Structure 1
Amino acid sequence: MILTLFSGALLLAVAGPALAAPKRTAYDIDPKPLPEALIDLAVQADISILGTDACRRGDRRGLRGRYTLDEALQHLLAGAPCSYRIVDAHTVALSARQAPQIFAVAPPGRRKAPPPEPPPPAPSPTFEIEELVVHSAKREVTLGELSAAASILAGRGIAAMGAVDVTGTTGQLTGLHMTNLGPGRDKLLIRGLSDGAFTGRARSTVATFLDDLPINYSAPHPDLRFVDVKQIEVLRGPQGSLYGAGAISGVYRIVTNKPDLENEGGSLAVFGSVTKGGAPSGAVEGWFNVPVVPDRLAMRVVAYHERLGGYLDDVNMRRSNVDRTTRSGGRVSMRVELSDTFHLDLSTTGQQLDTNDTKYTTQILSPGKRANRVQETHRNDFFQTALSLHGEFKGVRFRSSTGFIRHDYASQYDASAILDPADEFDLGVYRERARVDLAVQDTSFSVSNPTGLSWLLGIYGSRSRERSPSELHLRSRSVVVPVYVEDRRDTMRELAIYGEMSYRLSNGWSVAAGARAFETSIDTEALIDAPQISQQRPFSAKSRTSGVSPKVSVQYEFPSGGMIYALFSEGYRAAGANSSGLRTPLSYVKFDADHLQNFEIGAKLRLADGRLRLTGAIFHDLWTDIQTDGFLGSGLALTANAGDARVTGLELEGAHDWDSGLSMRANVTFSDSELTRANRGFTSSLGRGLPGVPEITGGVLITYRRQLGDGLELQLVGEASYVGSSRISFDPRFAPSSNAYIRDRIGADLSAGRWRFGAFVSNITDASGDTFAYGNPFSFGQVRQTTPQRPRTFGLRLSADF
């Protein structure tokens, strides 16, 4: 029914497309080398510019005033050694200007051959790398200029891959890995810096952002669907100096498209797919932009609904395709142009995600089947409202972001594995829920000087309240008995001052240093009731963490393009407390803060006139007092310090664009870890390396685009990623390993004007590798749990722009 109504809306929408005048933008670009002026233009126009290397021989240029994009490029590039082509509303391609051809005069009586027709323009590359601006740096800097390891997937690349959420990006963003417990239950990991596969009270090792604000703390990733997304950014390695606690292994940032002040338009799309042996899936999504007051006020609306069919069966409950997921959400954003140099962004984002059951199976049954006695549901609801003010005054750029985030999630598990056969009960059920309310304020000032001193100064404050009730019940046919009931409340406050300074020396050298001075406090109150042992006890704890997180780097930029750099940085997570447990006192009530030091050397090279880009980094990390989530013998969660470790790794990434329309992108990460000290209070022995991540991961992505004539364009995409084997927990006694596996996908898109039709096949070989050897904390260690890959899936997509 929904698909039918949406298809009708799609036809109506494209029947009468609105016509809009070209957008005019207020530019304020001081005279500077032409490539740098073009980067400023890209930032102020909110577009991507490809091929700035072609303009390196240009002189100094500047621009002030309100212009269309075409007019601005004409002014900046007048008489320059490069030319431009506007690919679409968000992309401009630059190329070296061809030298004029000189034709010899033909001798009398001999006809001069006509000059050859110019070749058709080459399709623009699908995966832009160097010229994209990294918003996660908190100041305007391109990916090629950043003295840190980072990767970006632009909106066009995300669409080509068919990535609808973070899971679809993991294979093509270097060093990024994700657990596979199920939608809305997972955690992100970067560079093999893993605190284990379980999700508990330890803060995430990856700071995840939606535009300028965080979207999770210790909660599982909310799994937002990617609709109308500009780009995805990943900064690898600890980012404590800029982002504080929770960025101990890196930053994952979702950058959305902002309202267009002059152009009305939008897009609608319908998706459908079938999975071998599973239920069908479908989705509808769309966005619409309307200038309310031209040049001053615009609104952008995003909406979507998705149903992901299950493919696992529960033989005990006699239910098929139990792991079905529904996801609905949207975003409303507004932009107000306050002046030529200041604008205000207001946005509200919400999503509801519901999963009928978990994704794991047990090896005692045939593949794709399990025998639970309880439906293990999960809910993950997310809401964010944000207000951001950006501007510039006398060369100083100002950013201020204020936001409120509510994250509400709940899970239910079959806890029958803890039953005593002698008891009268035949069923155990465990429920947990958490609601986090987080208020954030982040304000920064910055000055960029490409020939001298640049600086950034910011202040950050946040306050969160979390309520997390949980309960364990035993049931028989006639009675329900509570065994454990806990009502916990946490209040967290974080204050920080941070800054960075960089200075460009002569002969291509630059040095930079930064630091973050912080204080984090967490107050915990809980009431625990264990009726069966006649115990009720209150719990109270206070935790304080403070210090300074530094960062130092030096880099050298080659005259022909590219750079090498050396970096030292730190990350940390705040201390906290455990309240769970049937009896008191607990063996370990508090867990300490952990710290990570990162030593890194990297290079970024541009070859073959900028069409070949190679990046690489060698890193060595020292991690002390590693926080990890685990479980008591009762199945209740706890967080403890496992010990110390060192991690050494190598990551490589490359991309090449050919004139024929062929593009290729590939990456590989090698990570070797060793536990150098075990916390004997946590476990008597530890395995060799960190759990939860493989030693080798990698991916390759190939795209071919070709103009077929009459406005038709064909795009072919092939993708594959490799994930090596990994064990689940620190304790070798309960450390099953997930198997190595390969994910693959091929797709084809045909576009004609406003219309686009696509088809894809994923898991082409119908592999069933174990992607995650965990699913239920109460039976973990008693029965082998596996999470198979989604079987071969065939899908179609139809969309139209208007």
Structure 2
Amino acid sequence: MAALRVAGKLGDADFVYAGNWVDHDVSSTLDASALSASAFGVPAPALYVEQRRNRLFDQEIRLSHTGSGGLSWLAGLSFMDVRNHLLGTISNEAGDVTVATGTQGVRELSAFGDIRVPLSRTLSLDIGGRLFHSRTEEERGAKRARVEVSVSRSGFTPSLALSWQAGGRDFLYLRYAGALRPGGLSQTGTGSAERFDSDELQTFEAGWRHSNPAGLTINADAFLTTWSHLQSDYLLSDGLIGTRNVGDARIHGAELSVDWAPARDWALSAGLVVQSALLTKTSDGTEIEDRHLPVIPRWTARWGLSRSFELGGWNGSAGVRLNYLSRSRLSFDPGLDRQMGDYALADVDLLLRKGTWGIRMAGSNLFDCRADSFAFGNPFSLGKGPQYTPLRPRQWTVGFTRSW
């Protein structure tokens, strides 16, 4: 990985150039004995070995300016080049059989901008957007079949926000934004590959922020997101994972957070997110019993308490945090769907600092919760029973730091 950032002034505007180069290789090995003979004709015991190489080159140039009258703007250009390579083989003592290959190349050029216009002393309007042109070239193979596709797409994703500074303590805003995720090729259970479309998001948001001299800060937010042509993973009959468009979805909910300093050196923080994420229409019109979107919990909550103090010439702070994540599901696909979540975690930490020296002691997962954080592991043996990704066990750490 390599990165370069250059910043400076260009006339009255702030200039920033940022460039990144990432070359990343990942290899994974799974026991494929349960399906190797029936799906690929390879006698058990057998392993599935997957090798991925991902390369990313992106660069961005942007100019920004904030005027004395409250008018501010940002404009920029970006270029991204992504290359992804996949090779999957089934291996046993007799040799290797290639069962999955893929190459994807994406090039995208975009121009983006945002301008904030003060409508009055307390009211501001933000208008922004991103204009892009992308070209995707992809090749997928499974067994002896291969599919190639080349797709070019141009589009515009807008953003709009209206904010009101209601006195010195309250801030209200309305916001809209759109986004798009490109489609691609996915293997199918027929030994070939097929194309899935881009999915698009439209998000509407309304919020309120309040602060007062008593040390209380409240943030409240309500949101609505519509999701068209939702992409979702599903389990193929041979144990490999495919992607397809499952339909349209809607997510709506609310978020509340409170930060309060009830007394000197004390700080209390709490938050709650409640949301409903449902599939509103399937791509093929079929009815499904559970329309909840995968991986999205219905609600989450957090609570934290901390205190700063002095002890024998040391400056210290101590805190405790509680977090809860409600139940969620893994996938729409009946063969891949599992329940997960529904757990609480408790953490504590103590930090002492004197001069350039520091000591940190921390405990995580204090109650040693063994809940399932992600109900998936090996797709080739998923049909044989439940799979779990347990939380990290209770852990205590001690660290020493020194600054120069």
Q: State the 1:741 CA deviation.
A: 0.4
User: Would you say the 8 A contact 2:42–2:90 is kept in 1?
Assistant: no
Q: State the 1:579 CA deviation.
A: 4.4
Which one has the bigger helix percentage?
1
Q: In the alignment, what sits opposite 1:42?
A: none
Task: With a CA cutoff of 8 Å and minimum separation of 6, indicate the structure with the bigger relative contact order.
Answer: 1
Trace 1:429-508 onto structure 2 (pairs within 5 A): 429-449=47-67, 451-473=69-91, 475=92, 479-508=93-122
Q: State the 1:452 CA deviation.
A: 3.7
Trace 1:364-443 onto structure 2 (pairs within 5 A): 384-419=1-36, 425-443=43-61
Q: Secondary structure at the match of 2:380?
A: coil
Change (3 A) 1:782 1:514: same
**1:637-696 deviation digits (Å, cap 9, x = unpaired):** 211111111101101122123552111222211110121111239x87362210112111
CA distance in 2, matches of 1:615, 1:672: 20
User: Would you say the 8 A contact 1:569–1:597 is kept in 2?
Assistant: yes
**1:369-390 deviation digits (Å, cap 9, x = unpaired):** xxxxxxxxxxxxxxx2111111
Alignment RMSD (CA, Å): 2.3
**1:502-555 deviation digits (Å, cap 9, x = unpaired):** 111224011111111112211013455x3xxxxx34431112332110111111
Q: In the alignment, what sits opposite 1:50?
A: none
Q: Does 1:694 pair with 2:297? A: yes
Q: State the 1:450 CA deviation.
A: 5.4
Q: In the alignment, what sits opposite 1:95?
A: none
User: Would you say the 8 A contact 1:687–1:731 is kept in 2?
Assistant: no
CA distance in 2, matches of 1:410, 1:469: 10
CA distance in 2, matches of 1:783, 1:502: 55
Change (3 A) 1:526 1:677: closer
Change (3 A) 1:776 1:517: same
Match of 2:319 among 687, 700, 717: 717
Trace 1:205-244 onto structure 2 (pairs within 5 A): none
Q: Secondary structure at the match of 2:114?
A: strand
User: Would you say the 8 A contact 1:484–1:582 is kept in 2?
Assistant: no
User: Would you say the 8 A contact 1:595–1:624 is kept in 2?
Assistant: yes
Q: Secondary structure at the match of 2:57?
A: strand
TM-score of the superposition, structure 1-length normalised?
A: 0.48
Q: In the alignment, what sits opposite 1:781?
A: 383
Q: Secondary structure at the match of 2:381?
A: coil
CA distance in 1, matches of 2:165, 2:8: 29
What letter matches 1:653 in structure 2?
S
Match of 1:519 among 119, 124, 133: 133
Q: State the 1:575 CA deviation.
A: 1.8
CA distance in 2, matches of 1:650, 1:736: 26
CA distance in 2, matches of 1:567, 1:696: 23
Q: Does 1:607 pair with 2:212? A: yes
Q: In the alignment, what sits opposite 1:542?
A: 150
Q: In the alignment, what sits opposite 2:399?
A: 797
Match of 1:638 among 242, 261, 275: 242
User: Would you say the 8 A contact 1:549–1:570 is kept in 2?
Assistant: yes
Bigger radius of gyration among the two: 1
Q: Secondary structure at the match of 1:578?
A: strand
What letter matches 1:390 in structure 2?
A
CA distance in 2, matches of 1:504, 1:418: 63
Q: State the 1:752 CA deviation.
A: 2.2
**1:95-131 deviation digits (Å, cap 9, x = unpaired):** xxxxxxxxxxxxxxxxxxxxxxxxxxxxxxxxxxxxx
Match of 1:680 among 275, 284, 305: 284
Q: Secondary structure at the match of 1:786?
A: coil
Q: In the alignment, what sits opposite 2:370?
A: 768
Q: Secondary structure at the match of 1:566?
A: strand
User: Would you say the 8 A contact 1:702–1:718 is kept in 2?
Assistant: yes
Q: In the alignment, what sits opposite 2:184?
A: 576
Q: State the 1:769 CA deviation.
A: 1.5
Q: Secondary structure at the match of 2:399?
A: strand
Structure 1: runs of 5 or more not aligned: 1-383, 531-535
Change (3 A) 1:686 1:645: farther
Aligned residue-pair number: 403
Q: Secondary structure at the match of 2:374?
A: coil
User: Would you say the 8 A contact 1:623–1:645 is kept in 2?
Assistant: yes
**1:603-661 deviation digits (Å, cap 9, x = unpaired):** 1111125x222111100111000112222110112111111111011011221235521
Q: Does 1:740 pair with 2:322? A: no
Q: Does 1:706 pair with 2:309? A: yes
Q: Does 1:595 pair with 2:200? A: yes
What letter matches 1:408 in structure 2?
D
What letter matches 1:460 in structure 2?
S
CA distance in 1, matches of 2:161, 2:59: 28
Q: State the 1:409 CA deviation.
A: 1.3
CA distance in 1, matches of 2:262, 2:172: 25
User: Would you say the 8 A contact 1:539–1:579 is kept in 2?
Assistant: no
Change (3 A) 1:700 1:595: same
User: Would you say the 8 A contact 2:124–2:163 is kept in 1?
Assistant: yes
Q: Secondary structure at the match of 1:427?
A: coil
Change (3 A) 1:702 1:410: same
Q: Secondary structure at the match of 1:714?
A: strand
CA distance in 1, matches of 2:341, 2:164: 41
Trace 1:52-91 onto structure 2 (pairs within 5 A): none
Change (3 A) 1:452 1:763: closer
Q: State the 1:762 CA deviation.
A: 1.9
Which one has the bigger strand percentage?
2
Q: State the 1:447 CA deviation.
A: 1.4
User: Would you say the 8 A contact 1:525–1:539 is kept in 2?
Assistant: yes
User: Would you say the 8 A contact 1:452–1:505 is kept in 2?
Assistant: no
User: Would you say the 8 A contact 1:565–1:603 is kept in 2?
Assistant: yes
Trace 1:172-183 onto structure 2 (pairs within 5 A): none
What letter matches 1:392 in structure 2?
K
CA distance in 2, matches of 1:739, 1:488: 33
What letter matches 1:638 in structure 2?
G
Q: In the alignment, what sits opposite 1:560?
A: 168
**1:476-508 deviation digits (Å, cap 9, x = unpaired):** xxx425444333221110111111111112240
User: Would you say the 8 A contact 1:543–1:577 is kept in 2?
Assistant: no
CA distance in 2, matches of 1:604, 1:721: 23
Q: State the 1:413 CA deviation.
A: 1.0
CA distance in 1, matches of 2:379, 2:371: 21
Q: State the 1:439 CA deviation.
A: 1.1
User: Would you say the 8 A contact 1:678–1:686 is kept in 2?
Assistant: no
CA distance in 2, matches of 1:801, 1:538: 57
**1:720-741 deviation digits (Å, cap 9, x = unpaired):** 1111111100124542101400
CA distance in 2, matches of 1:451, 1:656: 33
